[in-house]
Amino acid sequence: MKGFREQYCREAEKKGDFSMIYGYARCSTNEKKQDIDRQKRDLKKLGVDAQNIFWEYESGTKNDRVQLDRLMNTVHEGDTIVALEVSRLTRSTQKLCSIIDEIKEKKLKLIIDKSITVDCTPGHEIDPMTKGMLMMWGVFAELEHDIICQRVKSGIENARAKGAVIGRPKTTEDNIPAVFMRYYPKYIKKEMNISELSRLCEMSRTTIYKYIKFLKDRKEYII
């Protein structure tokens, strides 16, 4: 997508505009690292510089996502946000409405891969057809999430009925990843915060909190 970036730069140069292009990538906590890497590669192909990609492992139904909030606090009027799918931004129609409102309020441009563009930059307004299409995708993303959850719930109930033990393995000192143990002392010494620890370990904040609680309960690594 080199052409996209070149076209964007030409248009910006004509306007004397120095707005930025940002990307957002998200994977659920149960998705593989390879998928977040693929998203970052594809965002780079769409013209987003690596340092301008915000990414995280969080559920698409969660409203308070650290990196998405950071992105929305970073952008300024005229900037562009690129995501590969509506579902990467959110799987909640309510949250999608909130994001669209913020796009309009801050006069930004939102690009969903090559499929849809919501241009609310100065001199532009979102047209009803585009907004309707975006909202329809949001409904489908939420519906897909609900269907998956129902299937998982049904599968768990069937497995339990057959006597299977369901649930994640109990946290022990042996199954805490080495990468967490490497950075955890720095967190204890307040040399980094939860968000930085989560990013370096490539783990969700939920997982990070779980390991921290386990170690604190055992009164280990309390420096």
Q: Where are the domains of the chain?
A: 2-127, 173-217
Can you tell me whether residue 81 is helix, strand or coil? strand
Cα 78–79–81 angle (5° rounding)?
135
pLDDT at 63: 76
- Give the class (CATH, top level) of 2-127: alpha beta
Pairwise pLDDT comparison (171 vs 179), residue with the higher score? 179
DSSP state of 168: P
Which residues are within 8 A (CB) of 33 and not within 5 positions of it... i.e. 6 or more apart? 27, 202
Distances (CA, A) of 202 to 5, 58, 77, 84, 179: 29, 11, 31, 20, 9
**Quick one: 105 exposed, middle or buried, by C-beta within 10 A (0-12, 13-18, 19+)?**
exposed
Per-residue pLDDT band for 1 (boundaries 50, 70, 90) equals very low
Mean pLDDT within 83-104:
87
- The neighbouring-strand residues paired with 110 are 81, 118
Q: Which residues are catalytic?
A: 28
What's the pTM?
Answer: 0.58
**Quick one: 32 exposed, middle or buried, by C-beta within 10 A (0-12, 13-18, 19+)?**
exposed
Contact 89, 59 (CB under 8 A): no
Q: What percent of the chain has pLDDT over 90?
A: 31
Q: Find the helix packing angle between 205-217 and 178-188, rounded to 10°.
A: 70
pLDDT at 160: 65
Residue type, 223: I
DSSP state of 29: T
Average per-residue pLDDT in the chain? 80
